[in-house]
Chains A and B, each alone.
Chain A
Amino acid sequence: DTGVSQDPRHKITKRGQNVTFRCDPISEHNRLYWYRQTLGQGPEFLTYFQNEAQLEKSRLLSDRFSAERPKGSFSTLEIQRTEQGDSAMYLCASSLTGALGPNSPLHFGNGTRLTVT
């Protein structure tokens, strides 16, 4: 169990540029979640996958955001035409719907800190 891995750890970009983040979940985990967190706030849900299927997407998420998990393993989150308001920590988490079913806890990666200038 190597934990959830996110890349890059930090990203600085100029407004209007596109960025892509990668998340590798814990290997046997079938659910993968993306959250965003700004200073002083709790994590805000963006989307989640079960295997390769995207099961839920936040209504707050604009169409500039897209996420994929093509083979049910790693996932990417892309933000197009970045805005200063996109500056945040982007957190990936995974879980296993095993004995606890869908009630199992989430395990977070170290996050990708995005700064849009």
Chain B
Amino acid sequence: QKEVEQNSGPLSVPEGAIASLNCTYSDRGSQSFFWYRQYSGKSPELIMSIYSNGDKEDGRFTAQLNKASQYVSLLIRDSQPSDSATYLCAVRGSTLGRLYFGRGTQLTVWP
């Protein structure tokens, strides 16, 4: 079992819709969780971090964390074509060292 699992997609939504991206992790002691956006040929860019159970909102983005279920999600409201990218879920394990990354979910927002 991989440390971080994501639906690889691709996920395709129309402009203005809500895009929902999901991630599960295996290390129950994990304490910090991140979502990165990666455009093709570019490096990952941090868009959200979350550390406690519940929801965290930042503009059109909402991160949700459920430690009991070992589940993290990212909602993108009012999706725009510029949101088309690969979204990487990253989890820092209980040793507080490396970040473990999922394979990423490719999102396409069509006009």
Q: Which residues of A contact B (CB under 8 A)?
A: 33, 35, 40-45, 48, 55-56, 89, 91, 100-111
Bound-state CA distance A106–B100 (Å) is 11
B46 within 8 A of A: yes
Q: In the complex, A45 Cα to B91 Cα: how many Å?
A: 12
Q: How far is the CA of A56 from the CA of B102 in the complex (A)?
A: 20
Q: Tell me whether B34 is interfacial, beta carbon within 8 Å.
A: yes
Q: Are B103 and A45 in contact (CB-based, < 8 A)?
A: no
Q: How many A-B residue contacts, CB cutoff 8 Å?
A: 57
On chain A, the residues within 8 Å of B90 by CB distance are: 106
Residue B62 lies at the interface, judged by CB distance under 8 Å to chain A? no
Considering the complex, give the chain A residue whose CB is closest to the CB of B46: A105
Q: CA separation between A40 and B43, bound complex, in Å? A: 13
In the bound complex, do residue B49 and residue A105 qualify as a contact, i.e. CB atoms below 8 Å apart?
yes
Contact of A103 among B4, B96, B103 (CB under 8 A): B96
B46 in contact with A56 (CB, 8 Å): no
The DSSP consensus for interface residues of chain A is: mixed
Complex CA gap A40/B88 in Å reads 11
Contact B46 A106 (CB under 8 A): yes
Q: Is B31 located at the chain interface by the 8 A CB criterion?
A: yes
Contact of B97 with A by CB under 8 A: yes
Q: Which of A43, A48, A56 contacts B44 (CB 8 A)?
A: A43
Q: Who on chain A is nearest to B44 by CB?
A: A108
Known contacts: A33-B98, A45-B98. The answer to whether A110 contacts B92 by CB under 8 A is no
Most buried by A among B44, B49, B96, B104: B44
Known: A103-B32, A103-B92. A42 touches B101 (CB 8 A): yes
A40 to chain B, nearest CB (A): 7
Question: How would residues 40 to 56 of chain B score, 1 for a CB under 8 Å from any chain A CB and 0 otherwise?
Answer: 00111110010100000
Instruction: Establish whether residues A48 and B97, one from each chain, have CB atoms under 8 Å apart when the complex forms.
Output: yes
- Does chain A have a CB within 8 A of B99? yes
The answer on a CB contact under 8 Å between A45 and B99 is: yes
Contact A40 B103 (CB under 8 A): yes
